[in-house]
Amino acid sequence: MSVHPIEVRAVDDQKIFILFGDGVSGEIDLSHLHGKGIFKKWDTTTPFKNVFINPENHSIAWDEELEIDSENLYFKLIGMSFEDWQKLQEEEHAAN
């Protein structure tokens, strides 16, 4: 996938707003991750509001260890699985 995030910001303590290069944007609720595993850092050493885009791999990050793959967030925003998206891309390519 060649679409990368170009903007991200915390909306509140559990949601982020993300904008991708193709114009897809929206809020994503990450409350299901709070308090679990490495995401416990949001409540201690790495505040949720410190979200940024990692320029090396385009992930959504809070520090060097705490990252979420931006592709998964993209698919969540468009309401598709990776497999459905890939099939659509193949169909569009075959039509051209």
* CATH code of the domain in which 77 resides: 3.30.2020.10
pLDDT digits (tens, 9 = 90+) for 45-82: 789 999 999 999 999 999 988 999 999 899 999 988 77
**CA separation, residue 33 to residues 4, 30, 39, 94, 95 (Å):** 22, 6, 6, 39, 40
Contact 42, 62 (CB under 8 A): yes
Mean pLDDT of 81-95: 77
Place of tokens 């592709």: 71
Question: Alpha-carbon distance 62 to 78, whole Å?
Answer: 23
1 pLDDT above the threshold of 60: no
Number of domains in the chain: 1
